[in-house]
Homo-oligomer: A and B are copies of this chain.
Amino acid sequence: MPPALRRLFPILTWGAAYTRASAANDLIAAVIVTIMLIPQSLAYALLAGLPAEVGLYASIAPLLIYALMGSSRTLAVGPVAVASLMTAAAVGKLAAQGTPEYLGAAIALAFLSGLMLLAMGALRLGFIANFLSHPVISGFISASGLLIAASQLPHLLGIKAGGQTLPELLGSLLRGLGGVNLPTLVIGAAAVGFLLWSRRGLAPLLRARGWQARPAGMVVRAAPVAAVALTTLAAWGLGLEARGVALVGEVPGGLPVPSLPPLDLGLWAQIAVPALLISIVGYVETISVAQTLAAKRRQRIDPDQELLALGGANLGSALSGGFPVTGGFARSVVNFDAGAETPAAGAFTAVGMALAVLFLTPLLHYLPKATLAATIVVAVLSLVDLGALRRTWVLSRTDFAAMLATMLVTLVVGVEAGISAGVILSLGLHLFRTSRPHVAVVGQVPGTEHFRNVLRHAVVTVPEVLTIRVDESLYFANARFLEDTVYDRVAADPGLRHVVLMCPAVNDVDASAFESLEAINSRLRDAGVTLHLSEVKGPVMDKLRRGHFLQELSGKVYMTQHDAMRALAPEVTARVRAAGRSE
């Protein structure tokens, strides 16, 4: 079998060694994940403004494809909260909820996102995900969680309200507060209370009654299904629809029919940016979950292969009438904890979801939307991590600023603007930081061949020689700073005869920095000062050799700073070198 094929379909590797024991474990995990995934799929479809069955469709084909292509053993893909919110934001601009255009645009979004991920994977562009710094991602996800929770409040209260931003949502909510539907509020509050209690109180209770940890955990995972069943029964038995409780209603049964998404270039152009943002955010989350879980079992994730697998999953979702999917944190952890050993668990989950679509949809008619909203609210509360603001503040003020700006823009302007602002700020702040690198004037430590910062150590310097150590790679953002720094020093000291640039921390030199070095060299020569380099790393030296710089350099390149000083100020250097010995 060609290695490329084996790389593209990891199932060919793990599948060949698949055992009955693994299959049994995968099956158990699949049952638990399926029970968790049914209400989640319905809820995230609701969040995305789509019919309930679309959530189920997005939990079948993508899981099968990921099982074939994924390099993670335990990642579970499907609809997730943040991608659903981003879908609603992107598609909501183009069409009204409930129209075929809205559904078509959501499917096209999954299709385009799938194509983009496949292209990035084929071109090995996984590094694009690096443009999202951790604070930006963290701020974005917290803000998305708040937005999502706010967007579900109308469903919990039984009022009509909407909006894409927090001010819009809250304003609309306040205006609608007069029309609260009491039965809906009761169901919503009961569901939220039950779900919160099942997370915090149920497991300790079961353990206290002598349950093992694993079955107790499974019961907790089944709590949302219990909430769904109980509130559905209540809605049916008490005739709540007539009392104003919004129900999911008719859900078409049967498997999705494969079909192409709308091939409308105008539409594609409008959703290209959201598709890219969903792809990148989804990929970052996927990789992060996959690596966390893989590390626990010392397994390997192939980031470029994950792009392909996620792309395939999204294409599969679109072709089977679903919306954008990514790797979900909670469900992957459940899958892992339940003992899944291979991606076959995902395939089994897909079979479970298919059975649900075939046989359970009639039962969903009486499911109150408030129950799904409760599921969403409780799930996204774990996304909101405001403590990260404080932790980031301690580490880095600039990262804190990027995080806060991302959160505020996401809440007030929208998800796409928020993530874009975060990326731009991350880049800008990085450039700002590296554009003023740490630069130290150094002198010789008496009795040694070491050279240290004159401001921090008692060192010896020679008036006619200035040694500047640059603690950063030289590139366009700091090239001019280096020029400014050197000229300032030279202009301030008329007695200067030599400048040595000490480069042990210079890892790279780009064309701009190269030209700056040439400019420094020729301007210093005009001023009667010789330029030398010392401790230049191998790769940087290779680059310097390519141009005319070394021929034009007025001074020399020294292996060590001590060599440089021995050549430029031999008597002083020897005396300082010896000084320590006699002490």
Interface residues of A, Cβ cutoff 8 Å to B: 127, 129-136, 287, 291-292, 294-301, 303, 391-392, 394-396, 398-400, 403, 426-427, 430-438, 471-473, 475-481, 483-484, 487-488, 490-492, 494, 504-505, 507-508, 510-512, 514-516, 519, 523-524, 526-528, 537, 539, 543, 546-547
- Complex CA–CA separation, A407 to B530 (angstroms): 35
- Complex CA–CA separation, A516 to B395 (angstroms): 13
Contact: A287 with B480, CB < 8 Å?
yes
Q: Which of B127, B299, B476, B483 contacts A291 (CB 8 A)?
A: B483
Q: Residues of B contacting A134 with CB < 8 Å?
A: 476, 479, 511-512, 515-516
Q: Residues of B contacting A299 with CB < 8 Å?
A: 491
CB distance from A494 to the nearest CB of B (A): 7
Contact: B433 with A508, CB < 8 Å?
yes
Q: Residues of B contacting A519 with CB < 8 Å?
A: 291-292
Q: What residue of chain B has the Cβ atom nearest to residue A528's Cβ?
A: B298
Q: Residues of B contacting A546 with CB < 8 Å?
A: 394-395
Q: Residues of B contacting A512 with CB < 8 Å?
A: 133-135, 399
Given known contacts A505-B507, A511-B395, A523 and B131 CB-to-CB distance under 8 angstroms: no
Given known contacts A291-B523, A507-B437, A508-B433, A127 and B481 CB-to-CB distance under 8 angstroms: yes
Q: Which of B426, B436, B476, B516 contacts A476 (CB 8 A)?
A: B426
Interface of A is mostly: helix
Given known contacts A292-B519, A505-B507, A507-B438, A129 and B426 CB-to-CB distance under 8 angstroms: no
Q: Residues of B contacting A484 with CB < 8 Å?
A: 291, 301, 303
CB distance from A160 to the nearest CB of B (A): 36
Q: Residues of B contacting A537 with CB < 8 Å?
A: 471
CB distance from A246 to the nearest CB of B (A): 41
CB distance from A456 to the nearest CB of B (A): 8
Known A129-B480, A294-B487; 8 more pairs at CB < 8 Å: A134-B515, A135-B512, A296-B523, A296-B526, A303-B480, A403-B511, A430-B476, A434-B508
- Complex CA–CA separation, A299 to B490 (angstroms): 9
Q: Residues of B contacting A396 with CB < 8 Å?
A: 510-511, 514, 543
Q: Which of B492, B508, B523, B543 contacts A292 (CB 8 A)?
A: B523
CB distance from A425 to the nearest CB of B (A): 11
Q: Which of B472, B477, B481, B487 contacts A131 (CB 8 A)?
A: B477
Q: Residues of B contacting A395 with CB < 8 Å?
A: 510-511, 514, 543, 546-547
Given known contacts A427-B427, A511-B399, A524-B295, A127 and B487 CB-to-CB distance under 8 angstroms: no
Q: Residues of B contacting A292 with CB < 8 Å?
A: 519, 523
CB distance from A527 to the nearest CB of B (A): 4
Contact: A130 with B539, CB < 8 Å?
no
- Complex CA–CA separation, A546 to B294 (angstroms): 29
Q: What residue of chain B has the Cβ atom nearest to residue A299's Cβ?
A: B491
Contact: B547 with A298, CB < 8 Å?
no
- Complex CA–CA separation, A392 to B515 (angstroms): 10
- Complex CA–CA separation, A508 to B474 (angstroms): 14
Contact: A391 with B547, CB < 8 Å?
yes
10 closest Cβ pairs, A-B complex: A295-B523, A133-B476, A399-B511, A134-B512, A300-B491, A298-B527, A133-B512, A296-B526, A130-B477, A127-B435
CB distance from A387 to the nearest CB of B (A): 12
Contact: A471 with B511, CB < 8 Å?
no
Q: Residues of B contacting A514 with CB < 8 Å?
A: 395-396
Q: Residues of B contacting A473 with CB < 8 Å?
A: 434, 472-473
Q: Residues of B contacting A133 with CB < 8 Å?
A: 475-476, 510-512
Q: Residues of B contacting A129 with CB < 8 Å?
A: 480
A-B contact pairs, 18 of them (CB 8 A): A127-B431, A127-B432, A127-B477, A130-B480, A131-B431, A133-B511, A135-B512, A291-B483, A291-B487, A291-B523, A297-B527, A298-B491, A426-B476, A430-B475, A434-B473, A434-B508, A471-B507, A505-B507
- Complex CA–CA separation, A521 to B471 (angstroms): 26
Contact: B127 with A430, CB < 8 Å?
no
Q: Residues of B contacting A433 with CB < 8 Å?
A: 508, 510
Q: Residues of B contacting A394 with CB < 8 Å?
A: 546-547
Q: Residues of B contacting A479 with CB < 8 Å?
A: 130, 134
Q: What residue of chain B has the Cβ atom nearest to residue A423's Cβ?
A: B476
Q: Residues of B contacting A528 with CB < 8 Å?
A: 298
CB distance from A318 to the nearest CB of B (A): 27
CB distance from A279 to the nearest CB of B (A): 16
CB distance from A497 to the nearest CB of B (A): 12
Q: What residue of chain B has the Cβ atom nearest to residue A524's Cβ?
A: B295
- Complex CA–CA separation, A94 to B374 (angstroms): 53
- Complex CA–CA separation, A432 to B526 (angstroms): 37
- Complex CA–CA separation, A539 to B507 (angstroms): 18
Contact: A436 with B487, CB < 8 Å?
no
| Most chain B CB within a 10 A radius of its CB, from A287, A431, A433, A512 | A512
- Complex CA–CA separation, A391 to B294 (angstroms): 46
- Complex CA–CA separation, A541 to B547 (angstroms): 37
Q: Which of B476, B488, B492, B515 contacts A132 (CB 8 A)?
A: B476
Q: Residues of B contacting A436 with CB < 8 Å?
A: 127
CB distance from A381 to the nearest CB of B (A): 21
- Complex CA–CA separation, A478 to B130 (angstroms): 7
